[in-house]
Amino acid sequence: MTEKVTLDQTDYWKLDSKCMEYVFDIKVSFPNTEPPEEGFPTIYMLDGNSHFQYGRDVVRLQSRNAPKTFVAPAIVVGIGHHGTEKEVSKQRFHDFTPFAEQYSYPDRLKAVGGELGPHGGADKLLDFMEQELMPEIARRYVVDPDSRTLFGHSLGGLFVLYTLLTRSHLFTNYLACSPSIWWNDHEILEYEKNFRENTDMDTPKNLFIAVGEEEGFMVNDAKDLVSNMESKKSDELQIAFYIAPEENHGSVVPTIMSRAIRFSNGIFPNSEVRTRQTQR
């Protein structure tokens, strides 16, 4: 006789978004401890059906010995799509990309560009998170409104960068793994330039960018972006950059998850990670 496995201290529900006209799969892991006075930190994970459990397990296992692991108890929220692999892929290209009048595809995608589905839904997804998901999480759980983290990989990593560069007030910590900086002829660099030259943040923000050593051009793209951002004249932006040895685009997420979550807890390693720690 076989039985379905149920994850303890984990909720699953669907959220019908009016902003997106889409029903999201929401998974939430919550600590089995009393919340601190300010509430639990919250880690929002894009591609929740793929990456939620990585984040959940890192937090649950390592927060048992927080003084050594530097991972504190936290609520982990997975934001998931549903359907076939092709349907999920199309939805991701819509949800994680900024709107543009025109889209330019690299050679490897030109033959299938028209099959990727509509693009440019990033602002609608941000509206959903700010107006619908975050209030629902705050209603159901005891959360710290001043300690929110966003994690995304690939196109999700691009969305993490876009969120920081356009609505930095939404999160404290931004974790971008293998971000698709190449999207639409590197248009995210224009957003970064405007952010660097025109944005003054009223609260400190932390950005962690990770990429696998074997990811080819994506490594150079990430290096260029980090170099640009490190020149931003601000005392309120902490940046860390990590290249995961021997990892590729498909393998990098589980290998960097602990490091990323430690970073969201304020741990800024000075070895193996290229870090600019600002003066406060």
Question: Catalytic amino acids?
Answer: 154, 215, 249
**Residues 188, 82, 147, 137: is their CA dihedral positive or negative?**
positive
* Strand 274-276 with 237-244, pairing: antiparallel
Angle at 184 between CA 180 and CA 186, to 5 degrees: 60
| Stated length of the chain | 280
CB 244 within 8 A of CB 212: yes
| Amino acid present at 58 | V
Angle at 152 between CA 147 and CA 157, to 5 degrees: 115
Classified as helix, coil or strand, 148 is: strand
Residue 31 is encoded by which pair of tokens? Answer: 């600590």
- Which among 22, 257, 31, 266 has a CA at the least distance from the CA of 151? 257
